[in-house]
Every structure is written in structure tokens, then in C-alpha cells.
Structure 1
Amino acid sequence: MTGSEAFEPESERVTRQLRDDILDGVRQPGSKLVERELAAELGVSRLPIRDALKVLVTEGLVTPRPRTWAVVREFTSTDIADLNEIRTPLELLTFRLAAQRRTRPGLEKLRSDLDAELEAAHTGDAVRARRAAADFHRTVTSLAGNELLSELERTLRSRMRWLLAQHDDLMAVANEHEALYAAIAERDIHRVEELVVKHLASSRGAAAARRRRPQSS
């Protein structure tokens, strides 16, 4: 690891830790995020905690409260509908461009993401499978080769990762990604579009089913 790779500002490390905790389900929706308590828990001063919470508010994962605390956002049905309205045209465009513009190194990275997801799904490791699924989508965006699209993806990344995590059938998602990988590799744009529509429908159904399920105490 190079020095530049090894160095990570404390505020960025704390932001990444809290983001992962939220998206991996460690910190549940509605949970309080109190600066003083988080600073003691993570062994840092309150400044990086404050900076991290500001970033997570911007990313749409945290809802601010007065003074020195916030809560993990509880996504409503309207929030999810709004996300899906944005996600549908963006993913259709992203996957279409990826199929048109994919490169050999890009396909190798996409295959690596997919293999990591398949392995985690086979072993039932939900956290690793969902992180790899998010990596798969991020790599597809890079294959699309459109900087403005990449900028939009970065803005929505955390909320889209949250949406992906609503799907409990890890193998179903991995298998859908494997079919998408094959279509991208073959530059089969019509097939890619077909599969994206099915993938989005599957995701919407999974999110709706999860919301209908009684919450465990």
C-alpha cells in the first residue's frame, strides 16, 4: 500500500464507518446519532463526528436534529417511489452506455465484482454480497464513460446502495447481475435493456415486500 493510499483523514474514516454501519443495518432507522456518544465510541474528537454527520445528511442517510445530534433516516414509501423514478431512466442509460463502451479492463473489474458477489451470496454473507452488488453497479457506471453520469451516481450512491440492500434474496440479485454482465460483454444492447427492466422490477418488488413485513422488536 502506498503512502497516499494509507492516509485517510479522520473525518473521512468516520464518515465511511458511519455510512457502512447505516447501510449494513448496524444502525437502524430512527437510531439516535449523538456527537458526544459517537466520539467516545469511535475514539475521536467531536469535530470529525460533526463533519461526518453533515456529509451523511447531504447523502440522504441521516436526518438532522437541533444542536448536536441526528437520527438515521427512515425512508418512507414516497422516498422509495422518488428513488425508483430516478433510478429507472438512469440505470437504463447507464447499462446501455456500458454495453456500448465497455473495455477489456472494465469487464475484468466487473467480473471481479460479480465473482465477489456470487461467492458471498453462496455463503449467505449479506453484508459482503450487498457491498459487492453496489460495487458492480458502480463499475457499470464507470464503463458508461460519461462524467456527468458518474457525478450523478456519486450524488445518489448512498441512497441507491440503501435501495439495493432492501433485496433479501442475495442469489437472485447475483444471478440477475451475472445475466447483465454477459449481455454487456456481448454488447447486446437490446438484451441489456430487457434485463435492466426486469432487475428494476425485482428490486421494487423486494422493497415493497420488506416494507409489508412486520418489524422485529
Structure 2
Amino acid sequence: MTVQAEAPASSADTARARIRELIISGDFAPGSRLRERDLSQTLAVSRVPVREALQQLEAEGFIDASPRRGATVKQITLRDVNELFEVRLSLEVLAARLAAQAAARGQSSSRLQQMMDQAEEATLRHDHAQIPLTNTALHAEIVAMGGNSLLEYSMKPLLGRMQWLFTLTGHRDPQVQCAEHLSLCKAIYDGKPDLAAALAFAHVELGREPSLQGLAGRLPES
């Protein structure tokens, strides 16, 4: 059987990923204007894919757009963070359950194990730039492993916001998060849906209060 190579990313996808990266890193601060011409020059692409990228990032909640001001980086608030946790409590619990059910049916968990290894390595290195990236990739793989295309489609725009949250909450102990991830992944490898769902719920809920407390004073209420 011939394995088809993945289609190369479009210019708009590449521009979106780069702009999102600059927003998450803080290079593009909340409230700063994003001008198509400047972005086109910075990213060395035409204005058409930049325009498409900005439209996608608005849909994902990274920018605000208005006819008068154009595109500006969204100011994330404590309310936004809390709402993200509420949605994660539903979708990620379902994702963990479905992934464990897939493992119980004999589906390979090798890719999830690879993502967990990378996240653990980044944690052990105290690589604070890579930890949010690898943790986000781990959560994305749990969703993908479940094989539910609608859930994957629903989670796709949230994963970028999760990476943004993980970057903002770098003050949290990464060792604790890594230990929770290891327990969750083991339940998935072992094909235990109820345990995986319970651990996913606990993992998300245990992170809510420390995240909100750590961001209080740094982010506006709403």
C-alpha cells in the first residue's frame, strides 16, 4: 500500500502559525495592531495569505477585527481563561475516554507514547519554551487517537488557546503536570475508559484555580 505524503501547508496556514506563535510569545502584545502590509513584509508572503490568516485567527479567538481599527491582538481575560477550563472539562474528558476505548480495541498508542516522551523530556530539561508546545501536542494526540472527527474539529481552534494558556501559566510546577499526564496516558494505554475520563477531569480541574490565581493581577477580569 502506498502511503501518501501530507500536503504541504498553504501560505495562509504558515502565516497563521507564525502570527499565532508571535502572539503567544508576547512579541505581539495584547491590543497591538496587526497591519497586513507589515505582516506581509515580516513573513515574506503576499497580503492575500496574511488576510486569510488574520480571518482564521479571529475565528480562533486570537485577534479582534473591526472596520475602523483593523486587526488587533485580543486581550485575554480571566473570564476567557475560566471559560476555556469549562469547555476543556467536557471535551477533554470525552477525548480521554474515546482514546482509551480505542486502545482497548487494539489501536496502537505508539504516537501518544512518543508525544508523552517528548513532553517528559522537555519537563526534565526545564525547557520552558518547549513545555507548552509538547503539552499541547500531547493533548492534541489524545483527541486524535479517539478517532472522532467532529470532536477533533471542535478541539482544533481550542488547542492554540490552550498553548497560549500553558505559556501564560509557566509559573505552575511542570513536574506536577507531567506526573498527571503520565497517569492519564497510562490509563489510556491500558484501555481503561472510566479511569482515563476521571483522570482527565481531575487534571483539568486541578489546573483551574492555580492558573486563575497566578494570572490574577496580570489579566483583566473580563
> How does the TM-score come out when normalised to structure 2?
0.84
| RMSD between superposed Cα atoms in Å | 2.5
Structure with greater proportional helix content: 1
Does 2:207 align with 1:206?
no
> Gapped runs of 5+ residues in structure 2?
none
Query: Partner of 1:91 in structure 2?
Result: 92
The DSSP-based 3-state class of the residue aligned with 2:31 is coil
1-structure distance, mates of 2:7, 2:101: 35
Cα gap change, 1:23 to 1:37, in 2 (>3 Å): same
Q: Deviations over 1:32-56 (max 9, x none)?
A: 2122221222222222221111110
Cα contact 2:100–2:188 (8 A) shared by 1: yes
Cα deviation digits, residues 4-61 of structure 1 (max 9, x gap): 6574322221111111222343323223212222122222222222111111001111
C-alpha contact (below 8 Å) 1:110/1:139 kept by paired residues: yes
Which shifted more, 79-88 or 107-116?
A: 79-88
Residue 35 of structure 1 contacts residue 68 of structure 1 at CA under 8 Å; is this kept in 2?
no
1:113 to 106, 112, 115: 115
The one-letter code of the counterpart of 2:210 is A
Partner of 2:73: 72
**Matched residue count:** 214
- Given the superposition, is the C-alpha separation of residues 30 and 202 from structure 1 closer, same or farther in structure 2, using an over 3 Å criterion? farther
**In structure 1, C-alpha distance between the alignment counterparts of 2:122 and 2:174, rounded to whole Å:** 8
Comparing 74-83 with 134-143, which one deviates more in the overlay? Answer: 74-83
Moved more, 12-21 or 151-160: 151-160
CA-to-aligned-CA distance 1:105-145 (integer Å, 9 cap, x gap): 64111111111111112222223211111111111111212
Shift of 1:209: 2.2
Greater relative contact order (Cα < 8 A, sep 6+): 2
Q: Which residue of 2 aligns with 1:37?
A: 38
Other structure's SS at 1:71 match: strand
Give the 3-state SS of the residue equivalent to 1:70 in structure 2.
strand
